[in-house]
């Protein structure tokens, strides 16, 4: 017997789910829907009497205070005709696709003592009120409610059948005819199989199998495609590049062998910090924290999945980076997340939306919800981030997910030995996420939504939380010798990587499945979430499995590591893969990519001197890139684990934008760390060199602003670029990477980990739009005493305001010029020699307690920083622009001084009694006392001729800053 | 030998505020065990060996169906008797955020109201915030009632963070609400920073009569949406850098200290005498 239980809110009770769907409908440009009600539908299959199903509904499914329920027999159920102006749509998961709620409901029913229930299937019924066409409803279903990969619209009456059991019998091994294939056929095989292998690679594989005298199986070809994908192998950064540049008529041509080793890693080696424990080696970079612990930091991207399915993409992006942390060393405990996004503007007109893309507001809401859902449920605080907007990200948003982990310092080394068992633990394997690794190594097209929909993954954060809990227990008992996450490429990458030095034999039919019917290849490359792979010494087998079973986490022995040098896979008795490990990992053919960088022909605009600077200040503060992100920040739990010391929102009203966030992860200890991000794609449109340099400076500067020590800062690079097979894209990438080397060495700040996501282009027909090459620099500073950290809000009227650093005429790529729709060419530069002195001195000043508040000057320059400090502290200011320390050239315009985005500048609040000691500390460095904190809530700026040029109220500035994203 | 109050911080799939809850009780002088509900069910750990049962925040079982529902039923059905005798023994319980949702939905709070003979059933709930979304923000709270957990806090305004999507307190009818007030079972109400009438976001979720936390009739069982364990230390205050005089402890610390002190004074001292 199958019962159908419908649960809905009682009349008059607010239904937030329906409310938010209605908002999404409005956002998507459809009008006419006045209300949406959501009904939870449960189909319960089991031997339950009418009374018993009533009991289950009353005690489990419906809240007695706010909800009501109705029970009917599911078999033969047909929806009665709806009233006029009401549309009913029911959406359910495909048979075999597991909604986590179903497992929880089954458990809940069994807990009530009803053991004879075999299955629960959930669905959602939506009641749309309003006079709209059936076509409009279809549109809503397709664009907002239903992910076709995993869900469908239910047609009543439903024919109930259980998923077909896997047919017994011999395994049908698929062999790909490669030996005789022509070049054209090789290309075809790669394309049809979504392998994203180029012709050269296909030919290398063909030659390898010709030598063996046999054709590869589909599984062997897939394994090579996964391992050799740009996503897993980083062909561009590790390959050879012919680089030609033309900078102001100076032409040069060089051959770069391994861009990563010759720039990013080279800097780290030269800087050679003693506290770097493991860099560019494990899942995440590891540095020393205190006498017992290290910390590790990793930032990943999940751009393409987020473009197609924003919630799922961001959700699994967080899940993925957290597994990176879980898989670092012998397992680290995630202690915070930091996330950075780039979207097209949320008010982009529908007419500017390319075919096959989602509206940026919908992408943004989906991404934020995905982060909120995974991070909050896992109990990992999302402590800060950044959101940038530009039309160039339409169709290809950027979603960077970062996480930091804490690891005992004796748990850093993993070592797989022959005879160790291969254990997969956590979630079951399904068909979700097939071809994620290869998909992210190609461009998005207007058909990606259809062709690559299988690459969308489904997250279950509670499953991952369970894995986290037991994994740390097993780690502390020393029950396994190595661990890695199942990420891109699934088991194929995880096992292939762990068994690289030895060899591995896997029994694919042992892998726990979500549903029957997966082929051996699907099992092998599926990117189902929440899975970790362990290497377990056979003597620990029982103890290991017991720890996992104790908290109801599935763990299964699927094979063993063997000293054979081969990757051998079996489905039952049938061998389906036998690949040489050396060929798999080192057989990829080296090619030389062409890179060209030519300085773009840009000039500075002639912007008339504005009559009203008040108005311009308001414009800049309400620019999407500058304005408050409080709507987003509050949806993230940024305080779970109790470690937060400097929160993302600070100040008298807890709404000011903090620079770096600080946490003290070991409760009761003052040892802490600060996390920040530097990102500015607009500078890169002028010169990627100064973009990279500025982002490094900004990331460091934010940590210095909260009282961090530049000697203890480590950074991460994350390159999101267009198609590297196009020489102009690759040329700008090379230029940015080379700047990373120069500036990191100049600042003595090492890179400890990095990531690249290339092929960020959206192709529609013949037209290809690349995103602007965007580097994200994430920084982590170790802080020995968090009680000495500083926030950015003004503290006390009468205190002095210092501007530290030199202000130059550097409005190129600024928010100020962007507010006129202009770019310019005078991009901000970085002088690490001077910067290093300034930052070291700032640390000394903070340690001495001389700094009451400090804020970094970045987008929007001095004007924005000053306004933010004032309204966050609820205090006014008076400043004089003629006192600001300038660069080599004089500046004649107030707007330039106010809005120039010169690097290495901070505003600092100092008590008058400390004036002398503060100035003495900074002797020989460019600092200037530019004004005073005032009791009256006015914002007053005196210009170069000592005239009042800005005169407004801090509340008005705050309103301008808060309004744009106050949704 | 000095015995310390023994506290069980209960975990299950999706619990995530257990570490800071354990820290708060340990610092207050308790001896804390983090116990998975499976350990209680398998009989490896016995509730009777403890003095305080603490249910921390998180998303137990994903908050699937509704927040806290599945753990609430699990405790009620499978451990109801043990918990019943635990309460009858004069011991203490506290539930924060998801723990409060669990206690409400299990009927431990507000507890048998209308008549003592009625079996425990759910008479109130914590439903979706009026804002329609999860929000992490700090709130001001007024303390009422005579709970052992809030001793010495009567005239204080506490400042604690909330972080939830389902925290709006409502009762099944007006009678239950009146009963709660008459019996002094309201423990915390949201208020403005000066202690006055709150509006959103001072009352962050739209709870009726601004109720943020309640107790049972005895005052020994406390549940609240705000997180006292997240303001256990003064450095957790969102604007500690603005304060001239900051001690070690934050506004939430007193609640945990009260729990530990109560056990020391009422349950352990007696045992010591009899030994």
Q: What pLDDT, on a 0 to 100 scale, did the predictor assign at position A232?
A: 81
**CA separation for the pair A923, A934 (Å, rounded):** 27
- Are A409 and A292 in contact by the 8 Å Cβ rule? The answer is yes
- Are B19 and A557 in contact by the 8 Å Cβ rule? The answer is no
Cα–Cα separations (whole angstroms), residue A838 to A261, A271, A707, A834, A859: 30, 19, 13, 6, 20
- Where residue B1 falls among pLDDT bands split at 50, 70, 90? low
Q: Which residues of A touch B128 (CB under 8 A)?
A: 14-16
**CA separation for the pair A528, A429 (Å, rounded):** 5
Q: What pLDDT, on a 0 to 100 scale, did the predictor assign at position A451?
A: 44
Catalytic member of B51, B140, B164, B227: B227
- Where residue A362 falls among pLDDT bands split at 50, 70, 90? confident
Q: What is the CATH number of the domain that holds A80?
A: 3.30.1280.10
Catalytic member of B17, B97, B191, B231: B97
Question: Are A112 and A225 found together in one domain?
Answer: no
Domain boundary among A548, A574, A590: A590
Q: Average pLDDT, stretch A915-921?
A: 98
**CA separation for the pair A838, A922 (Å, rounded):** 8
Residues of chain A with pLDDT > 90, as a percent, come to 81
Residue at A638 is within a domain = no
Q: What pLDDT, on a 0 to 100 scale, did the predictor assign at position A229?
A: 86
Domain boundary among A571, A590, A609: A590
**B96 at interface of A, judged by CB pairs closer than 8 A:** no
Question: Distance from CA of residue A407 to its chain's centroid?
Answer: 22
Residue B255 has pLDDT above 80, yes or no: yes
Residue at A454 is within a domain = yes
Q: Average pLDDT, stretch A633-655?
A: 97
Q: Average pLDDT, stretch A438-455?
A: 54
- Are A842 and A706 in contact by the 8 Å Cβ rule? The answer is no
Write the CB contacts of A842 (distance below 8 Å, at least 6 apart in sequence): A704, A705, A804, A851, A854, A906, A908
Q: Average pLDDT, stretch A361-371?
A: 93
Residue B270 has pLDDT above 50, yes or no: yes
**B147 at interface of A, judged by CB pairs closer than 8 A:** no
Put simply, the answer to whether B65 touches A462 (Cβ < 8 Å) is: no
At A287-320, the pLDDT tens digits run 999 999 999 999 999 998 888 888 888 999 999 9
Q: What pLDDT, on a 0 to 100 scale, did the predictor assign at position A435?
A: 64
Q: Average pLDDT, stretch A927-939?
A: 98
Question: Are A104 and A230 found together in one domain?
Answer: no
Question: Are A83 and A216 found together in one domain?
Answer: no
A444-445/A761-764 β-pairing: parallel
Angle in degrees, CA A953, A959, A961, rounded to 5: 105
Write the CB contacts of A176 (distance below 8 Å, at least 6 apart in sequence): A189, A193, A215, A216, A217, A218, A221
Q: What pLDDT, on a 0 to 100 scale, did the predictor assign at position A467?
A: 98
- Are A355 and A309 in contact by the 8 Å Cβ rule? The answer is no
For A461, the domain range is: 205-237+414-590
Residue at A791 is within a domain = no
Lowest mean pLDDT among A75-89, A533-547, A726-740, A888-902: A75-89
Residues of chain B with pLDDT > 70, as a percent, come to 94
Q: What pLDDT, on a 0 to 100 scale, did the predictor assign at position A453?
A: 45
Predicted TM-score (pTM) of the model is 0.95
At B151-195, the pLDDT tens digits run 999 888 999 999 999 999 999 999 999 999 999 999 999 999 999
Question: Are A430 and A531 found together in one domain?
Answer: yes
Residue at A912 is within a domain = no
What are the E-state strand segments in A409-524? 421-426, 444-445, 482-485, 504-507
Q: How close are the terminal C-alpha atoms of chain B, in Å? A: 11
Question: Are A454 and A516 found together in one domain?
Answer: yes
- Closest Cβ–Cβ partner in B27, B122, B132 for A65: B122
Catalytic residues of A: 231, 302
Note the maximum CA span of chain A. 91
Q: What pLDDT, on a 0 to 100 scale, did the predictor assign at position A432?
A: 75
Q: What pLDDT, on a 0 to 100 scale, did the predictor assign at position A276?
A: 97
Question: Are A13 and A92 found together in one domain?
Answer: yes
- Are B10 and B93 in contact by the 8 Å Cβ rule? The answer is no
Q: What is the CATH number of the domain that holds A441?
A: 3.90.650.10
Residues of chain B numbered 7-66 and touching chain A (CB < 8 Å): 11, 13-17, 19-20, 23, 27, 36, 38-39, 57-59, 61-62, 64-66
Count CA atoms closer than 13 A to B8's CA, side-chain side: 22
Q: What pLDDT, on a 0 to 100 scale, did the predictor assign at position A157?
A: 82
Question: Are A427 and A543 found together in one domain?
Answer: yes
- Are A144 and A58 in contact by the 8 Å Cβ rule? The answer is no
Q: A648: nearest CA in chain B?
A: B238
Question: Distance from CA of residue A599 to its chain's centroid?
Answer: 31
Q: What pLDDT, on a 0 to 100 scale, did the predictor assign at position A444?
A: 60
**CA separation for the pair A377, B199 (Å, rounded):** 28
- Chain A: give the shortest CA distance to residue B22, in Å: 10
Q: Average pLDDT, stretch A726-743?
A: 97
Q: What pLDDT, on a 0 to 100 scale, did the predictor assign at position A168?
A: 59
**B208 at interface of A, judged by CB pairs closer than 8 A:** no
- Where residue A348 falls among pLDDT bands split at 50, 70, 90? very high
Q: What pLDDT, on a 0 to 100 scale, did the predictor assign at position A306?
A: 87
**CA separation for the pair A426, A414 (Å, rounded):** 20
Query: Which tokens hold the place of A317?
Result: 């992006």
Q: What pLDDT, on a 0 to 100 scale, did the predictor assign at position B112?
A: 62
A297: left (phi over 0), alpha (psi -120 to 50) or beta: beta
Residue B98 has pLDDT above 70, yes or no: yes
**Length of chain B measured in residues:** 275
Q: Average pLDDT, stretch B208-233?
A: 97
Q: B35: nearest CA in chain A?
A: A551
Question: Are A227 and A127 found together in one domain?
Answer: no
Residue at A684 is within a domain = no
Residue at A567 is within a domain = yes
Average pLDDT, chain A: 93
At A849-871, the pLDDT tens digits run 999 999 999 999 999 999 999 99
Q: Which residues of B touch A634 (CB under 8 A)?
A: 135-137
| Number of domains chain A is built from | 2
Question: Distance from CA of residue A634 to its chain's centroid?
Answer: 18
- Are A298 and A284 in contact by the 8 Å Cβ rule? The answer is yes
Question: Are A232 and A88 found together in one domain?
Answer: no
Put simply, the answer to whether B135 touches A461 (Cβ < 8 Å) is: no
Q: Which residue has the higher pLDDT, A171 or A954?
A: A954
Q: Average pLDDT, stretch A767-790?
A: 95
- Where residue B275 falls among pLDDT bands split at 50, 70, 90? very low
Q: Average pLDDT, stretch B44-52?
A: 97
Residue A331 has pLDDT above 80, yes or no: yes
At A415-430, the pLDDT tens digits run 999 999 999 999 999 8
B98: number of Cβ within 10 Å = 26
- Indicate which of A42, A55, A68, A111 best probes the interface with B, i.e. most B CBs within 10 Å of its own CB: A111
Domain boundary among A559, A590, A621: A590
At A795-825, the pLDDT tens digits run 999 999 999 999 999 999 999 999 999 999 9
What is the phi/psi pair of residue B103, to 5°? -65, -35
**CA separation for the pair A629, A964 (Å, rounded):** 9
Cα–Cα separations (whole angstroms), residue A596 to A208, A255, A599, A724: 33, 12, 10, 11
Q: Average pLDDT, stretch A197-224?
A: 95
**CA separation for the pair A300, A292 (Å, rounded):** 27
Q: What is the DSSP string of A115-154?
A: --EEEEEEEEEEEEES---HHHHHHHIIIII--TTTEEE-
Question: Are A148 and A220 found together in one domain?
Answer: no
Q: Average pLDDT, stretch B16-20?
A: 98
Q: What pLDDT, on a 0 to 100 scale, did the predictor assign at position B20?
A: 98
Specify whether B31 is catalytic: no
Domains in chain B, CATH or no CATH each? 6-274 (3.40.50.880)
CA proximity to A775, closest of A677, A704, A858: A677
Query: Which ipTM value was assigned to this complex?
Result: 0.95
**B229 at interface of A, judged by CB pairs closer than 8 A:** yes
Residue A406 has pLDDT above 70, yes or no: yes
Question: Are A7 and A87 found together in one domain?
Answer: yes
- Indicate which of B9, B11, B12, B13 best probes the interface with A, i.e. most A CBs within 10 Å of its own CB: B13
- Are A774 and A738 in contact by the 8 Å Cβ rule? The answer is no
Q: Which residues of B touch A795 (CB under 8 A)?
A: 241-242
What is the phi/psi pair of residue A911, to 5°? -70, 145
State whether residue A79 is helix, strand or coil: coil
**B74 at interface of A, judged by CB pairs closer than 8 A:** yes
Question: Are A583 and A479 found together in one domain?
Answer: yes
Strand order in the sheet with A661-663: A644-646, A661-663, A672-679, A774-783, A713-720, A751-757
Q: What is the DSSP string of A739-777?
A: HHHHHHHHHT--EEEEEEE---EEEETTEEEEPPPEEEE
Question: Distance from CA of residue A939 to its chain's centroid?
Answer: 37
DSSP 8-state class, residue B9? E
Cα–Cα separations (whole angstroms), residue A910 to A309, A653, A853, A917: 49, 21, 8, 10
């Amino acid at each position: 017997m199958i019962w159908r239980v419908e649960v809905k809110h009682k009349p008059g009770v607010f239904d937030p789910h329906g409310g938010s769907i209605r908002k999404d409908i409005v956002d998507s440009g459809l009008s006419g829907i006045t209300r949406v009600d959501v009904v939870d539908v449960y189909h319960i299959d089991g031997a339950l009497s009418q009374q018993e199903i009533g009991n289950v509904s009353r005690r489990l499914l419906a809240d007695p205070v706010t909800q009501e329920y109705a029970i009917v027999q599911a078999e033969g159920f047909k929806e009665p005709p709806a009233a006029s102006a009401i549309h009913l749509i029911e959406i359910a998961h495909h048979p075999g696709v597991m909604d986590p709620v179903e497992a929880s409901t089954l458990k809940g029913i069994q807990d009530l003592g009803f053991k004879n229930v075999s299955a629960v299937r959930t669905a959602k019924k939506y009641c749309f009120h309003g006079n709209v066409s059936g076509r409009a409803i279809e549109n809503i279903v397709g664009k907002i409610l239903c992910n076709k990969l995993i869900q469908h619209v239910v047609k009543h009456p439903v024919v109930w059948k259980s998923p077909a059991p896997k047919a017994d019998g011999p395994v049908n091994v698929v062999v790909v005819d490669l030996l005789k294939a022509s070049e054209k056929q090789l290309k075809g095989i790669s394309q049809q199989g979504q392998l994203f292998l180029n012709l050269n690679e296909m030919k290398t594989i063909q030659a390898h199998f010709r030598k063996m005298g046999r054709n590869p199986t589909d599984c062997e070809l897939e394994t090579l495609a996964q391992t050799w994908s740009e996503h897993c192998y980083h062909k561009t950064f590790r390959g050879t590049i012919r680089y030609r540049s033309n900078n102001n008529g100076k032409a040069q041509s060089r051959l770069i062998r391994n861009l990563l080793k010759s720039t990013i890693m080279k800097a780290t080696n030269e800087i050679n910090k003693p506290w770097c424990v493991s860099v560019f080696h494990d899942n995440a970079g590891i540095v020393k924290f205190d006498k017992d612990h290290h910390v590790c930091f990793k930032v990943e991207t999940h751009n393409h999945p987020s473009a197609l399915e924003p919630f799922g993409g961001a959700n699994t992006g967080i899940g993925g980076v957290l597994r990176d942390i879980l898989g670092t060393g012998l397992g680290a405990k995630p202690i915070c997340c930091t996330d950075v996004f780039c979207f097209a503007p949320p008010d982009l007109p529908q007419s500017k939306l390319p075919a096959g893309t989602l509206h940026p507001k919908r992408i943004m809401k989906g991404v934020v919800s995905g982060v909120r859902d995974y991070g909050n449920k896992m109990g990992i605080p999302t402590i800060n981030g950044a959101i940038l907007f530009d039309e160039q990200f339409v169709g290809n948003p950027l979603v960077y997910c970062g996480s930091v982990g804490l690891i005992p310092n004796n748990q850093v080394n993993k070592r797989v030995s022959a005879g160790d068992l291969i254990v997969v633990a956590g979630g079951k394997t399904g068909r979700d996420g097939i071809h994620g690794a290869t998909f992210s190594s190609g461009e998005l097209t207007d058909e990606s939504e259809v062709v690559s929909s299988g690459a969308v993954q489904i997250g279950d954060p509670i499953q991952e939380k369970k894995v986290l809990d037991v994994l740390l227990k097993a780690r502390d008992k020393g029950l396994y010798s190595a661990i890695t996450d199942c990420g891109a490429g699934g088991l194929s990458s995880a096992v292939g990587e762990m068994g690289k030095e030895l060899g591995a034999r896997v029994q694919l039919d042992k892998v726990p499945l979500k549903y029957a019917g997966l082929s051996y290849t699907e099992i092998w490359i599926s990117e189902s979430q929440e899975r970790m792979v362990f290497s377990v010494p056979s003597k620990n087998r029982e103890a290991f499995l017991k720890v996992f079973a104790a908290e109801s986490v599935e763990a299964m022995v699927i094979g063993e590591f063997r000293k054979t040098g081969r990757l051998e896979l079996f489905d039952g008795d049938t061998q389906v893969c036998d690949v040489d490990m050396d060929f798999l990992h080192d057989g990829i053919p080296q090619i030389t990519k062409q890179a060209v960088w030519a300085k773009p022909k840009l000039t500075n605009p002639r912007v008339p001197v504005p009559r009203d600077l008040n108005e311009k200040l308001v414009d800049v503060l309400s620019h999407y890139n500058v304005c408050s992100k409080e709507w987003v920040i509050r949806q993230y739990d940024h305080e779970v684990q109790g470690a937060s010391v400097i929160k993302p929102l600070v100040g008298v009203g807890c709404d000011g934008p903090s620079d770096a966030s600080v946490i003290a992860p070991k409760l009761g200890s003052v040892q802490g760390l600060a996390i920040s991000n530097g990102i500015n794609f607009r500078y890169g449109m002028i010169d990627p060199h100064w973009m990279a340099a500025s982002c490094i400076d900004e990331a460091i500067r934010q940590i210095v602003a909260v009282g961090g020590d530049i000697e203890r800062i480590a950074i991460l690079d994350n390159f999101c670029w267009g198609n590297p097979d196009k020489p102009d894209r690759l040329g700008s990438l090379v230029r940015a990477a080379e700047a990373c080397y120069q500036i990191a060495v100049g600042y003595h700040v090492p890179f400890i980990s990095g990531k690249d996501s290339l092929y960020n282009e959206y192709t529609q027909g013949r037209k290809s739009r690349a995103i602007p090459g965007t580097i994200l620099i994430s920084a982590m500073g170790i802080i020995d005493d968090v009680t000495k950290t500083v926030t950015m809000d003004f503290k006390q009227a009468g205190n002095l305001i210092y501007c530290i650093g030199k202000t130059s005429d550097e409005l190129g790529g600024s928010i100020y010029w962007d507010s006129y729709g202009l770019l310019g060419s005078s991009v901000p530069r970085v002088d690490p020699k001077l910067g290093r002195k300034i930052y070291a001195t700032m640390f000394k000043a903070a340690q001495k307690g001389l700094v009451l508040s400090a804020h970094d000057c970045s987008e929007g320059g001095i004007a924005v920083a000053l306004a933010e400090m004032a309204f966050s502290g609820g205090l006014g200011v008076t400043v004089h622009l003629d006192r600001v320390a300038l660069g080599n050239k004089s500046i004649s315009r107030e707007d330039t001084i106010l809005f120039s985005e010169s690097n290495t500048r901070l505003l600092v609040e100092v008590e008058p009694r400390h004036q002398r000691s503060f100035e003495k500390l900074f002797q020989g460095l460019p600092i200037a006392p530019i004004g005073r904190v005032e009791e009256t809530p006015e914002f007053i700026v005196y210009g170069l001729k000592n005239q009042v040029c800005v005169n407004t109220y801090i509340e008005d500035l705050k309103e301008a800053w808060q309004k744009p994203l106050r949704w | 030998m000095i015995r310390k109050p023994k506290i069980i911080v209960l975990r299950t799939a999706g619990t995530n505020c257990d570490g800071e809850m354990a820290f708060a009780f340990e610092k207050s002088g308790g001896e804390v065990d983090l116990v998975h509900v499976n350990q209680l069910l398998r009989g490896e750990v016995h509730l009777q060996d403890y003095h305080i049962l603490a249910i921390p925040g998180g998303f137990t079982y994903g908050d699937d169906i509704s927040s806290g529902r599945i753990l609430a039923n699990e405790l009620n059905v499978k451990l109801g008797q043990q918990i019943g005798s635990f309460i009858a023994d004069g011991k203490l319980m506290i539930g924060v955020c998801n723990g409060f949702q669990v206690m409400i939905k299990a009927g431990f709070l507000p507890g048998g109201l209308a008549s003592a003979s009625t079996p425990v059933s759910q008479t109130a709930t914590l439903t979706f915030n009026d804002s329609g979304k999860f929000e992490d923000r700090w709130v001001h709270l007024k303390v009422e009632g005579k709970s052992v957990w809030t001793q010495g806090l009567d005239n204080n305004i506490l400042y604690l963070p909330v972080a939830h999507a389902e925290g709006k307190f409502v009762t099944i009818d007006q009678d239950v609400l009146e009963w709660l007030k008459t019996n002094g079972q309201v423990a915390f109400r949201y208020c403005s920073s000066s202690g006055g009438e709150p509006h959103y976001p001072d009352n962050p979720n739209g709870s009726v009569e601004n109720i943020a936390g309640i107790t049972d009739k005895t005052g020994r069982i406390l549940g609240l949406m705000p997180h006292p364990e997240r303001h256990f230390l003064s450095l957790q205050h969102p604007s500690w850098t603005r304060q001239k005089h900051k001690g070690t402890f934050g506004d939430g610390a007193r609640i945990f200290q009260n729990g530990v002190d109560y056990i020391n004074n009422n349950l352990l001292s007696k045992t010591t005498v009899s030994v």
